[in-house]
Every structure is written in C-alpha cells, then in structure tokens.
Amino acid sequence: MQDEDRDMTENRDRRIVLIAPPGAGKSTQATRLAERFAIPWVSTGELLRAAVREGTPLGRAARGYMERGEMVPDDVVIALVRERLASPDCRNGFILDGFPRTTAQAEALKAAGVTLDYVIELDLDEAEAVLRLSGRRVHPASGRTYHVVFHPPKVEGKDDVTGEDLVQRSDDTEEAVRTRLQVYRQQTEPVVAFYREWSARQDPNAPRYFRISAAGTPDEVAARLLQLLGSEKESQETASSPAS
C-alpha cells in the first residue's frame, strides 16, 4: 500500500471523496466525474453488491447488513477498499463513493497514508432523498442508475446500453431507507465533521473540504461539482446540455 501511495501523489487533484445521505446522488455524480477525469469510480456499495451477487464469503457476510440498511463491519469494508485502492488504475486518482462512512474508516484511510485532495459533501433535504430512492431503478451488472420520473430509461424497465432488465434495490424498501438515513445521521455525519475540522487546521496533508447543494437536476449538480474542481468551461457546457 505504501508504494502505491507514493505513485498516487503524482496527480494530487483527482483523489476525491463524495459524502452524502442515501439517495442524494453520489453514484450519479461519481460516475460522471469518473468518466470526465478518466479515473475509477470506487463505490463500496457496488463492490459489496458484486460480492453478494457472486456469493463470495464476503458477500455472504455482508448481505444481511445491507438488506437491513445497516453498516457492514468496518474491518470488512476497510480491507476491501485497501485492496481496491492498491490497484494500478487508482494511481492517477479515484472517486470514493460511500467510503469512509464511519470515523474508524476515515482514520484507517489516514493511517494508511492515502492522500485525498477533496472531500465533497452533497447536501440534500431528507424528504427529497427519499423521493429519489423510491423511484430508483438499477442495472445490477453495471451499476447504471435510473429514476422512473427524474431519469427514465429509453424503454421502460430496460437498461439503455444492454436492454437488460432494471431492478429495484433490495435496500430501497421504506424500512431499510429509514434505517439508512438514521445510520447516516449517527455514524457518517461525524465523518463530515472529521474532514471539515481537519481541513480547517491548515495541515498540508489535509484534503480540502467543501459542501455543495445536491438540489436541482443532475446536470445542475454536475456543473457545481465541475466548477468546484476547476473545470469552469466544462461545467458551463454541462449546464447547458439537455438533462440526462
């Protein structure tokens, strides 16, 4: 991990963490940024769901927690992320979506010497997040995400690229969503405070922390993010393109 970390400092601008409540649009924005900057999208939710689908020991251990909307134990997720960030494709940057979401995970990332450039909090009213989750449909194999009203697929119920069936996530039930929101308030909001305070200390190793609104269309949120990340021309083009 240490050797990989040294290589990862070559491009200091593209090690980004997105933090937000469930349904705020982390994955929607993370996949766009990953494509724009040609860096990998590292989503712990996606890594865990793949393990569940494949029936690996990790997947079997994680499944119950995920279906109930609870946190998968820290040691399991930390090991998963350490392994993923050590891959060669993460050397020039990455977008972490859904990690860290406990202070133990944030401390583990710091202790491993992983440099972060930006920690960006996407801020959204809970009622709006619930509305987004209730209409979400996903293509399990790719992680592509749709919404029945806000971002419908070209053909109802089918993935735009493969034509395969879209499904509703098993943790998008009313009860699991309520648990996920509560877990976010209790365990992930302290992570936001951790980065906000570290960033304010003017430590040269600290990531820059920003909070932006996740309200509005996906294009509007993407434009805010790109502006923040220094691509103002690109953000104007994105803002004026049709909603996706």
| Chain residues that interact with ligand AP5, rule: CB under 6 A | 20, 22-28, 44-45, 48, 65-66, 69-72, 77, 98-99, 101, 105, 132-133, 135-136, 145-147, 150-151, 171, 180, 216-218, 221
- C-alpha closest to that of 117 among 231, 6, 15, 7: 15
Closer residue to ligand AP5 in complex, CB, 159/171: 171
> Is 180 labeled as catalytic in the residue annotation?
yes
- C-alpha closest to that of 108 among 78, 72, 71, 85: 78
Catalytic residue among 91, 136, 137, 144: 136
Beta bridge partners of 120: 18, 210
Q: Which residue in the shown chain puts its C-beta closest to ligand AP5?
A: 45
Burial 8-36 (b: 16+ CB within 10 A, else e): beeeeebbbbbbbbbbbbbbbbbbbbbee
- Distances from the Cα of 19 to the Cα of 47, 100, 152, angstroms: 17, 8, 25
> Is 154 labeled as catalytic in the residue annotation?
no
> Is 136 labeled as catalytic in the residue annotation?
yes
> Is 53 labeled as catalytic in the residue annotation?
no
Closer residue to ligand AP5 in complex, CB, 9/186: 186
CB of 202 vs ligand AP5, minimal distance in Å: 28
Closer residue to ligand AP5 in complex, CB, 11/134: 134
Catalytic residue among 14, 63, 180, 224: 180
Closer residue to ligand AP5 in complex, CB, 93/98: 98
The total number of residues shown for the chain amounts to 244
Cβ–Cβ under 8 Å, residues 8 and 177: no
CB of 204 vs ligand AP5, minimal distance in Å: 26
| Residues annotated as catalytic (active site), given as ranges | 26, 101, 136, 169, 180
